[in-house]
Amino acid sequence: MKYLILITCSLLTLNSCNNKAGKKTTTNGVTYTNYNTKMKDTTFVDVRGNKYPYFSRIPDSLCTSEQQALAKAIKDVLLNGVVVEGNKQVLKFSKEECLAKGLPAKYYEELKNNIRTNNSFFDAYGIKGSDRIKDKLGLDSSLRTLPY
């Protein structure tokens, strides 16, 4: 009986660690690997108590000071840390550097997963050249307009 419980627990542990392989996604007949995690049920609340399903949906004028600091950290890491090198999107900051800039660990992990997914997408669709990749990402034009 002890061995049956031990084997069951081991299988459950191994199965829960299986997400690192990613999930195959097909869009317009092209298959790529999606490493993004499913968002948990999270609600973000602004200074007036209004609830939002996504952080980015909170109006700038209603963000708390903590939310403004988080937005600033996200913007800093995305604009200064995400670069295109050799037809791949790369995060040039280490985890420690991102944490020092104020980016929480869960956001760092999600960013790394997004980068892996983007690179898989670029490979699957044959998107080559740093200019084309930067155009697809749109980082420079959309993020530089944020107030934080």
**Model confidence pLDDT, tens digit, residues 113-134:** 999 998 998 888 888 876 666 6
Tell whether pTM > 0.85: no
In a domain, 50, yes or no: no
Q: Is residue 128 part of a domain?
A: yes
**130 occurs within a structural domain:** yes
Q: Does residue 30 lie in a domain region?
A: no
Segment 47-59 mean pLDDT: 87
First-to-last alpha carbon distance for the chain, in angstroms, is 59
More confident residue, 128 or 94: 94
9 in any annotated domain: no
Asked whether residue 1 is domain-assigned, the answer is no
Q: Tell me the average pLDDT of the chain.
A: 77
Domain assignment present for 137: yes
Predicted local distance difference test score (pLDDT) of residue 24? 83
Q: CB pairs under 8 A, 24+ apart, for 136-141?
A: 137/82, 137/84, 137/89, 139/78, 139/79, 139/82, 140/79
pLDDT of residue 80: 93
Percent of the chain residues past pLDDT 70, beyond the cut: 70
Q: Number of structural domains, the chain?
A: 1
In a domain, 74, yes or no: yes
The conformation of residue 52, written as its DSSP 8-state character, comes to E
Residue 90 belongs to domain spanning: 64-143
Alpha carbon distance 141, 148 (integer Å): 15
